[in-house]
Every structure is written in C-alpha cells, then in structure tokens.
Structure 1
Amino acid sequence: MGSKFHAFMYPYFAFGHTIPYLHLANKLAEKGHRVTFLLPTKAKNQLEPLNLFPESILFEPLTLPYVDGLPIGAETNSDLPNTSGKVISDAMDLLRGHIESKVRALKPDLIFFDFVYWVPEMAKEFGVKSVSYQIVSAACLAMALAPGVELGFPQPLGYPSSKVALRGHDAKLYSIFTNSSKRLMGRVTTGLKNCDVVAIRTCAEIEGKYCSFIERQCERKVLLTGPMFPEPQEKSVKQLEDRWNHWLNGFEPGSVVFCALGSQTFLEKDQFQELCLGMELTGFPFIVAVKPPRGSSTTQEALPEGFEERVKGRGIVWGGWVEQQPLILSHGSVGCFVNHCGSSLMWESLVSDCQIVNIPQLADEVLATRLLVEELEVSVKVQREDSGWFSKENLRDAVKSVMDKDSEIGNLVNRNHKKLKETLISPGLLSGYADNFVEALESEVNNTKSS
C-alpha cells in the first residue's frame, strides 16, 4: 500500500460540484489520507453533515472577495440570479494569493480542482501534483476537447459517437446554453491539458469510448473514480423525514412523479408556471423541487392562478434543493424522476428504480441527456421549441410516455434502465473503481517523493 498523502480540494463553488468532491474526500479519508477542503463559509455549514471523517477532512472556509456583479452575501452559484457562473469563478481567481499561502504553509501532495484553470501552474511552483477532477460526463468533456468543435455541428472531428454528437434541434439548444458556459468550458479544457492527473467521475461501462478519446486529446492516462456515490444511507443520512414519508405513503406504489432541477437552474416565471401546469396535466401525484423563478422571492408567489387549490393533496412545489432527494427517489411510491441530467442527478437516476425524464438546462446537460436517451436508451426527454421553451403539453406527454404501462417506449427504457442499474450496483464494481483510483494517486505521490 502507498504512503499516506495530504490533498487540497478547490472545487467550483456550486453544490453540484462540492458535494461530489466531498464524496471523494470521504473515500480518501477512509483509506487513511488527509484532505483540506477549501470552500465558502456558508457551504461549510451545509456540507458538514456529509463529512464522514471530520478528523481527517478539514474544512477551510474562505470569504469570496467582491467582484462586479456578485450580490452581497453570495458565496455559491445557487446564490446567483443566473447560471453563468462568471462572477463566482472571477472571485475564486482573486483568492489565488490566499491559496498559495495555504499551499506554502501546509505543503499538500496533491490539489484537486475543476474550473480554476491556474491551479496546475501554481502547483508546479510548489512541487505539488495537480488533479483535474471533473464531475460532468465524459461525453461532455470529449465534446469540449474535440478538434473543430468551434467550427460547428453536428460531428466534431474524431468525436466517438454519432448518437451523442449534436445534430438538428439539440445542436441549436446546445448553442443557446453554450453561450453562457463557453468561458467555463474553456477554463476546464485549459486545466485538463496542463494538469498532472486527469480524473473523471464516471465508469468505463457507460463512457469508456469517451474516456479513451479524452486520453488521446490530453495525451495522458485518464483515471476514473466511478460514480462515487455517498456511503449507505443508514450511515450518512438520517431516515426520510416524516413530512415526506407520510405524504408519499398516501399514494400507490410507483405513482408519484418527482421533479428536481438542481441548485443552479433558474427558470423564467412563465417557464416555471408551464412546468407546474405540465405536472398538473399528467394527472399523477407529484413533487416539484425548483428554485424560485427569476424575479420572485418564493415559488409560492409565482404559481399559476388557482394552481394550489386544483392540486391540493396531490401536488407539492418546494422552493429549492431537497437534501433527502436520494431517499425520496428510493421510496416505493415514486415511479418517475424528472430532472435536468446534471451529473449528480444523472447518477442518482441511473441507480434508482424510477423511470427517467430529462429536461436539460445547460450545455453539458444537453450532451448527458443525449447519452441517456439516444445511446443508452434508458430515458426520454421533454421536447422543446427552437428557442429552448418547453410546453406543459410536451412535459405531460414525456411523463405519460414512461408512466403508461402499455407504452412501447416506456417499456423499452425501463428494460434498458434495469440492465444498466444491475451493472452499476453489481458487487465490487463501485468499490473497485474507488480503490483503484486511490491506489493510482498513491503511486503518483510515491513517484514524486522518490524522484
């Protein structure tokens, strides 16, 4: 076994990034390694319950410096009124001197990062190994790295899948969403090409050919952590709260639709109302967990007229992220999971027993959705207009297409999903990825110390 190391983690300040990083930190700590986790003060309070090894994982709270456009008190992407993320990454850049002083004082062996492209340069100055750990799908990273991707779609040079490569309406949709994330993806690719170690939160059983493509583009081996799920629920999270459990127990098995769009999705008010009306039209009991739409301080004030009265007893609209989401998905009454196909929700949906419906909101989610819908055929997506708008009827139709017992597409994706889930939860698969990943890092550190 390799000698023990000390790792820094400096993930992008959004819960979709910090939570997977903490799952990885737990795995490193389980193997006897130390982690210094750099994150904002408020995020520290929210993540502490997920830290399973507080004696080995030290949270180092940071205060984001002010940059133009950063609201007072905002510390993570979920605190912003839009999803561009530029102001958060700009503020994180201004912390470079502070991070350097921490590295100089604590002398870590490794530093993990995703969006902060200057980490490899800084790490080299101090003789520290830099690890670009990406939590988005390998299909998305491969698209960003593909030669000619900036020249247009559908098929950048060498991209390994014609099913996932963008074409038609999805190419237009990708372009709409990419305008807000192009800068961030540029930072990611710069980090990938300059770091010492490339690591991705995925597994070869699902994205092997994309990982091989990334290896060729980056000219180095890509390490895979597997989905890196948290510890079993009984150890890491308390049982489902009574308010959710009691409500869900009132419905037939597999009849409830759970819709969650993550902490970085901010819908316009009219699109939020269309989402609510679409869920109402399905006729199924439902929970919608979304941020308040732009211009509204709460979801309640933005609901369609008469909506609450019409869905009373069978519909809940919750204004934000639900901490116990995995436990809700595992409840026997939940039969369908409507989500944006962000990285964490993609994996949560794949190991659930729920039918999957995708409504991508960002560029990487468009590609992840194509992976699930077109290549793996385990989900369906909500159809959109060229502008990106989706109607209540299209949402209703997508949900009913997988919930209808006689639906051909519903039965197809259900069969494929079950097979894929069996693979993902097969004995030793996930733990094997995690163990091999940690061993590879130990070798990296040992080689550095012996050279």
Structure 2
Amino acid sequence: MDKRADQLHVYFLPMMAPGHMIPLVDMARQFSRHGVKVTIVTTPLNATKFSKTIQKDREFGSDICIRTTEFPCKEAGLPEGCENLASTTTSEMTMKFIKALYLFEQPVEKFMEEDHPDCLVAGTFFAWAVDVAAKLGIPRLAFNGTGLLPMCAYNCLMEHKPHLKVESETEEFVIPGLPDTIKMSRSKLSQHWVDEKETPMTPIIKDFMRAEATSYGAIVNSFYELEPNYVQHFREVVGRKVWHVGPVSLCNKDNEDKSQRGQDSSLSEQKCLDWLNTKEPKSVIYICFGSMSIFSSDQLLEIATALEASDQQFIWVVRQNTTNEEQEKWMPEGFEEKVNGRGLIIKGWAPQVLILDHEATGGFVTHCGWNSLLEGVSAGVPMVTWPLSAEQFFNEKLLVEILKIGVPVGVQAWSQRTDSRVPINRENILRAVTKLMVGQEAEEMQGRAAALGKSAKMAVEKGGSSDNSLVSLLEELRNGKSSSN
C-alpha cells in the first residue's frame, strides 16, 4: 500500500503581512517535521522571503512546497509590487489590499481541487477560506496571528459592549467575563470598537468573525503555561476548539535560520553577534517596533535623547519607512559619536530572534506585537511596552499586569501603526528603560522572564504542552481523513 495515500496533506494560506506570514510559515514547517505533507500558498514576491528556508527543509527530508499565484495589484488599484500589507502606506491602500485578498478565492480553490488536501489553515483575513473548505468537505483552521487573551477579550467586548457604557474616551471600564480583571479605555481600542457606525471595514470585519466562528477550530502561536486561564476560557466559555502550538519561532535552531527569518537583515548577523559578544550578560537593551510601525521625526528624537541619557548599552532598529527619512532632522547633534561603542543602530530589518537570544540582551522595548512578545518571552527577557495598534494594548496587559515582566512607557491612545499624535517624551522613555534594566525590581522581572523562557522552550520539546497539542491536532485530522475515506 502506498504510504503517501495515508499521509496527511495540509494547505497553509498565510495573510501577506510579516506578523502573519512569519509565524504561519514556521507553523507549516513544524507540521512537516511531524510527517505531514505541507503546501504553502502565497504570491511570487512573498515566496522569496522564505523560499531559502523551505528549500533547506526539503533537503533535510521535509515534504513541504510552495505554490504561487499572482497578487491582483492592478485589479485592486494598488501599485505594482505592493504584495504585502507592510508595503501599504495609507489607510486607503490598506483597504484596497484587504479587498484584494478576496480575489484569491478562485486560484486557491483551483489549487485545492487539484491537490485534494485534508485540511486548510488560513489567516483570518481570508474569510472565504471557510466556504472553500466546506465545499471540499475538509476542516478549516483559523489563524489570526495573536494570542488567546486578546481573542477572549474581543469576544467579551462583542458580547457585553462595556465600551459603549462609559462617558469619555479615557474613562476606564472592566471587560466582564474574563479570568482576570482587565481594564481598558476606548482610546486604546480601534475606531471599529469605539464608533459603532458602519464604516467600509464593517462588513469585512463581520465576514472575518463569521468565518472564525464557523471554522473547525483555531490554531494559535502560544503555549499553555503563558496564558492557561485563556486556553480554558476560549474552550469552555467562547466554546470553540483551539490548539496552542507555539512559540513557533523556537523551530529555528541555528543562527542562519534565526537571522533569515522574515527577510535578509540590513546588518549581517555576524556583525550583530560580534558587537553583542563584547558586552556583559543582560547588559544590552534592544529597541524595535516591528515591521509595520511608522514613527515621526519628533518621536525618534525623543527616543534618541532618552537612550543617550540612559547610559545603557543598546541596539536600536530604526525602520527606513519613517515619516521623515532625513536623518539630520531627528538625530541629535553628535549622537552617533556620543553613543559609539555603547549603541548599535540598525536601519531596516534586524535579525531579531538572534539578538534576543544572545546572553548579552537583558531587555526589549517593543510595540507589543504578538510575535515580538513571544520572541521576547522565549528569550527570557523583560520588556518595556509601547503598544501602537491592533490588539497590542491587550498584549501590554498580559506582560505588565498578569506576567509582571513588563514596564509600560505610558501610551494612552491607539494609533494605526504610528506613534500617537503627541510623542512619548524622553523622560517617560528614560524612566521605563531604567526601571527595566536597573535595581531590585529589574532583577525580579529578569527572574520571572527567565522562568517563562524555560517554560516556552519546554513547551515545544517532545512531550511539552505545545508539542502534545500539535500531536493531538494531527491525530484528530488523521482520524477525520480515515473516516471520510
């Protein structure tokens, strides 16, 4: 009997944005290491970001491949080459991009009719994936790129609408029904939650929610020990199946894999390592705000001034897509000379996992994107929290109030990928960085973060909570495949 006829075949359809694509590709690689045949569907330009890694896995015997279909830039009214959400620069472009994702239904369905996979794992933004899977009689697993606390919180917001019962944007309310007392204000939620009037996004968000609620279940890049109460809440109160299989970044074992995760670094990994190797353990703070943030020159100036005054060793990733790229407009006079040897500035993409995992790194200033949060947790480093948009204010609550490994910088308003209208001042940045790196409280946070880092690594090892969760999911999918044959 042909062994391949029995082999489970799973399709992965990652949303074209770094925070979705990177973890879902890592997840696909984990599936293939468990003997699953894996097909990742994306566009040619996005495929180049991880094709080297996939080729390497194939050489080691993984049954994993990429199928590509063109991105409908022209049909969507987007410039040629705008195939990733990170390439959009205005809310109008973002809207066009999200609408363009609906044009993938036909080519993906055609691929699936040819390949007859047993399951489809698709990003939330592909709401139609649940319909295609139903048509083909296979389960669709939803992946929305975040953890379980935010997913549970959004569910409670939808059900109880506490944000509509307060008088002002800044008045705090408790989100009812959650395992922990979590207070939020409307200013920290996206406009969709604050203003219940219909917007162009309203029907799309409703479609996402319908697709998530009718999917076979959810698969998350998290681990049980990180948010046990929310694993339970999602299963028992929200009433949906969920499998936690993270942190998926830990499937990158060697330095080459860690440095190539996402795209090529602007500074070679060797230069980063050489610089870090000259530093004392836990002495360096790493500052990075993810792949989508756009900071003003005023805000960059405040950060630079605080770092100069902090006396801390640091690596600072400054994205080239800042709203003002003219360096002299924001960099304090003589800044690079003054911090020479003490600070390393990377302009562009950085090998984040490699930097966080280095023993010299002792803290992380982050926008609280879920991937960055998990990478910080996995490396055992405490964090300064600087949320911007998406679900990041909920992630801040997890780090600061529940895990107690975070120091808030003081952001009070949700701001769609950019810094708030009023820059966070240098005093607040300096205070948070110092609290994270110096003194008794810093040492206690370091201890808690180190323990969490060990739990994260154990979770993905054989017999760990995430490994067991993945094995049980694959078992369920195999049973479903054999009963439908």
Query: TM-score when scaled to structure 1?
Result: 0.88
Structure 1 residue 69, shift from structure 2 partner = 6.0
* Aligned match of 2:265: none
Q: 2:175 aligns with which of 130, 135, 156?
A: 156
What secondary structure does 2:410 align onto? coil
Could you tell me how far apart the structure 1 residues matched to 2:201 and 2:176 are? 19
Letter of the 1:360 counterpart:
P
* Aligned match of 2:253: 232
* Aligned match of 1:167: 184
Q: 1:199 aligns with which of 219, 223, 226?
A: 219
- Number of aligned residue pairs: 443
Q: Would you say 1:358 and 2:385 are equivalent positions?
A: yes
* Aligned match of 1:98: 107
Deviations for 1:197-243, whole angstroms, at most 9, x for unmatched residues? 22222122222222222224553322221322223225734798331
What secondary structure does 1:9 align onto? strand
Letter of the 1:154 counterpart:
F
Structure 1 residues 131 and 238, CA, compared in 2 at 3 Å: closer, same or farther? closer
What secondary structure does 1:292 align onto? coil
* Aligned match of 1:417: 449
5+ unaligned residues in a row in structure 2: which ranges?
A: 166-171, 261-267, 415-419
Could you tell me how far apart the structure 2 residues matched to 1:75 and 1:377 are? 38
* Aligned match of 1:266: 294
* Aligned match of 1:23: 26
Could you tell me how far apart the structure 2 residues matched to 1:182 and 1:337 are? 33
Is the contact between residue 220 and residue 244 of structure 2 (CA under 8 Å) also seen in structure 1?
A: yes
Deviations for 1:52-110, whole angstroms, at most 9, x for unmatched residues? 53352211223211255633311112212257843332211111111111111111111
Q: Would you say 1:281 and 2:309 are equivalent positions?
A: yes
Equivalent positions of 1:243-262 (< 5 A) are: 243-262=271-290
Is the contact between residue 113 and residue 133 of structure 1 (CA under 8 Å) also seen in structure 2?
A: yes
What secondary structure does 1:265 align onto? coil
Q: Would you say 1:7 and 2:10 are equivalent positions?
A: yes
What secondary structure does 2:379 align onto? coil
* Aligned match of 1:241: 269
Letter of the 1:219 counterpart:
G
Could you tell me how far apart the structure 1 residues matched to 2:450 and 2:201 are? 35
Structure 1 residues 338 and 449, CA, compared in 2 at 3 Å: closer, same or farther? same
Structure 1 residue 245, shift from structure 2 partner = 2.2
Q: 1:80 aligns with which of 88, 112, 122?
A: 88
Could you tell me how far apart the structure 2 residues matched to 1:361 and 1:380 are? 15
CA RMSD of aligned residues (A): 3.0
Structure 1 residue 130, shift from structure 2 partner = 0.5
* Aligned match of 2:264: none
Q: 2:49 aligns with which of 46, 49, 52?
A: 46
Structure 1 residue 319, shift from structure 2 partner = 2.5
Deviations for 1:392-425, whole angstroms, at most 9, x for unmatched residues? 2111110101211x2x432332232223223223
Greater CA drift, 184-193 or 261-270: 184-193
Is the contact between residue 258 and residue 353 of structure 2 (CA under 8 Å) also seen in structure 1?
A: no
5+ unaligned residues in a row in structure 1: which ranges?
A: none
What secondary structure does 1:363 align onto? coil
Structure 1 residue 142, shift from structure 2 partner = 0.8
Could you tell me how far apart the structure 2 residues matched to 1:363 and 1:430 are? 33
Structure 1 residue 276, shift from structure 2 partner = 2.6
Query: TM-score when scaled to structure 2?
Result: 0.82
